[in-house]
Chain A
């Protein structure tokens, strides 16, 4: 019979089909379990925690299936474990980069310098962390590009997490005319900031004269906002400040130079 055909050693085609069948069933089972975990825990766990749980369950099921089919293929798992040390060394040398990425992935999950959904900068890549796989991290750049960064690079690079702290500060420079009242301008700016819900009450915003410029008295405006909202606040407030100043009759001057023409007495 064709199923009894020996492939190698004592392994027949039937054994191979058995292995294939078990692995396919395990893969389907893993997918179904993962889908159900996602459905039932979607509202109960944070997205990044859920992703870690889902991956752990998925790889556990696949791992158990792989170990369970080893005896069918004539491989004794206990012997495999004994040989694991030597095999690990061999595989380690052969696939150093992959193992480095894998270990970095594990450390990323444990140390968690970045989470799924964080806005980060790694090297020359800035964007939102979409997923953290075992050997790579997926980032969607702010202009919508898909970037896969190996975990080793993520782990060894300096990471800037824009939402690592709950609040962040941004600044404007606002120039007003030398003839305008600085105190009044500061009041107007503070009032505009006060009216914005996400310009934080505490730490309080600051408005102060930063320098006396060539054409304007330059006010520095410092505002704190929730890290998740700061860019929206930054985009909205500057124009509102400009409009509010103009409504109060305070000019935002453009660069200018006063030229005095001296009347030379005729000779």
Chain B
């Protein structure tokens, strides 16, 4: 039996077979009992194979198959920091604005941007939660912020600038509320923002994935970025973080010194 959900961003199908038990459904994101099957731009399934289970995920050309040696367990699917695919090489995300933003001195203003989504699949058993798979259907691209000697490699994303919360497909793009605070004495033009994954606080609901970022402009070419730990709308759930500040002396902020 197929269960079809329709919503404003398109049609999503979750194949629910009779023996499958879905506890809580946030369309794609949420907690599921296994076995299960999900189909969208990707296919994700956990099927019974004898006493064990087989996890299988297909998206684009990529196929991942893993044997789960578990009696039961729950699968948590939620958005994670978009810095793991195709390979984790940097904890920094650079969002380039489609059009520059010019901010008056002393102003506190906010805009909305979009950021890429990566989907994390976690398996839980007992009280342990383990990441099993990460994938994305968003475009993957990297760039350099700063010069070759002292710059930083960043995940790259280009976003339009929105005055209010735009519509976005939550499996592909999230909404970033970016609050500016211009502490400098002059007008400042901002064309990009670089964020540190170690500070990212991602929230999700059935229709949106969001983060709330801040940029304190310290001078013409310098700004500090960081995240607020609160949802964009009430009722949103907090996503499991992969980039926790486990290492000593890891900052959750980022100082943009190579231009705005």
Contact = CB atoms under 8 A, between A and B. Distances in A.
Contacts, number: 53
A165 B89 contact: no
A226 interface: yes
A45 B86 CA distance: 24
Interface string A218-244: 000000101011000000000000000
Interface string B173-197: 0000000000000000000000000
A214 interface: no
A43 B248 CA distance: 9
Interface stretch (B72-80, B122-130, B135-143): B135-143
Contacts of B248: 41, 44-45
Contacts of B101: none
A166 B90 CA distance: 11
Contacts of B143: 200-202
Interface stretch (B39-47, B150-158, B200-208, B209-217): B150-158
A30 B66 CA distance: 41
A201 B142 contact: yes
A201 B247 contact: no
B141 A167 contact: no
Give chain A's interface secondary structure class. Answer: loop
Nearest to B143: A201
8 contacts: A44-B248, A166-B144, A166-B152, A168-B148, A197-B85, A197-B142, A200-B144, A229-B89
A84 interface: no
Given A43-B246, A197-B86, A166 B140 contact: no
A198 interface: yes
A237 to B, nearest CB: 14
B8 interface: no
A46 B249 CA distance: 11
Interface size class of B (residues with CB under 8 A): 20 to 34
Contact of B151 (A45, A46, A167): A167
Contacts of A200: 142-144, 153
B141 A201 contact: yes
Contact of A226 (B85, B142, B149): B142
Nearest to A166: B153
B9 interface: no
B149 A165 contact: yes
Interface in A24-79: 41, 43-46
The 9 closest A-B pairs by CB, nearest first: A197-B140, A201-B143, A202-B143, A44-B248, A44-B247, A226-B153, A201-B156, A165-B148, A43-B246
B246 A166 contact: no
Interface in B90-132: 90
B246 A202 contact: no
Nearest to A228: B89
A167 B140 contact: no
B234 interface: no
Name which of A45, A167, A228, A229 has the most chain B CB atoms within 10 A of its CB: A167
A213 interface: no
Contacts of B151: 166-167
A203 interface: yes
Contacts of A46: 247
